[in-house]
Chains A and B, each alone.
Chain A
Amino acid sequence: MLDVLIVDDSAAIRKILQRVLRQTEIPIGTVYEAGDGAEALETMRRQTIGLVLSDINMPNMDGLEFLTKMRAEQIWNGIPVLMVSTEGTQAKVLEAVGRGASGYVRKPFTAEQIQEKLVGLI
């Protein structure tokens, strides 16, 4: 079973992504939630996370800073991170990939788009 961390300041998006995850054929275990990058790092220190879905624009610590800090830790280096964000320019996607994102989905998204990306990552 794969424990997942969803990082987004919107409770609505966290709820939607949780529902999408449960609809996949991927065996999902516990789904943890964080409202920003700082909360996400705290959760990762306490739990063994196998997959991260993260927004970019968030208060306190944004998704790109979270990604950079996460990838700086060797134990978290191999964990797939799917960025899910309204930021849709090529420059922003390339920046996220450069910082270690494994995949990118632009909001608004369909459940199928998220599921397709996840199958490719897991």
Chain B
Amino acid sequence: MTTNTEAAQTLSQDELVEAIRGATDEVFTTMLNLTVAAGAEFVEKEEAVPCSGVVSLIGLAGAWVGSGSMACSAGCAAKIASALLMTPYTAIDEDVLDAVAEVTNMIIGNVKTALESRLGAMGLSTPTVIYGRNFQTRSSGNQKWTVVPFALGDDQMCVQVCISPNDDAGKKTTRTGFPVPHLLRT
């Protein structure tokens, strides 16, 4: 296994996309008994544009640093919670937000596990979930996100990861911004 001190300095787009697709598929099949169909991945830079829906965000830190997130509409979030908890939900409440956070935690946690053997050990933050209308996010970063869209029946969601080597570990605080997914833009 690669240790922190000898962590790999490159990660191909294909490796990252494969990890995202594999983790998302496994979580939805195993825990939700739902099938997701992955679309074509793309790279996106953050932009401060208004959006609506549910966004769940998790930080990664270690030899490599970054963030992972899942974003979907309110209706899609309710569908995810209904499948996970085997209870029908039609609107956003605490249970739905917690379910989306946990699904994101499992997906990004498994992406991390898939990459750790090459990139070195990383820690995972607890998820933050945002739900609202017409909100904006921005940061001082200039990060590129690898975005993988998924179709969940008639709904759409996306899983995205932004990760880079932690060259300045211990010297500065690393912050990554968040690109508003196209599917949530108002």
Contact = CB atoms under 8 A, between A and B. Distances in A.
Interface of A: 9-13, 15-16, 19, 57-59, 86-91, 107-110
Given A59-B126, A91-B1, A108-B26, A12 B84 contact: yes
Contact of A89 (B84, B113, B126): B113
A58 B84 CA distance: 20
Interface stretch (B45-53, B104-112, B150-158, B160-168): B104-112
Nearest to B94: A11
Interface in B65-86: 81, 84-86
Majority secondary structure of chain B interface residues (helix, strand, loop or mixed): helix
A57 B126 contact: yes
Contacts, number: 62
B8 interface: no
Nearest to A8: B102
B95 A91 contact: no
Interface of B: 1, 26-27, 30-31, 81, 84-86, 94-95, 98-99, 101-102, 105-106, 109-110, 112-113, 116-117, 121, 124, 126
A32 to B, nearest CB: 19
A12 B95 contact: yes
B27 A108 contact: yes
B99 A87 contact: no
Given A12-B99, A12-B102, A86-B106, A109 B113 contact: no
Contacts of A16: 31, 84-85
A108 B98 CA distance: 16
Contacts of A9: 126
Given A86-B124, A107-B106, A108-B31, A10 B116 contact: no
A13 B85 contact: no
A10 B109 contact: no
B126 A88 contact: no
Contact of B116 (A58, A59, A89, A108): A89
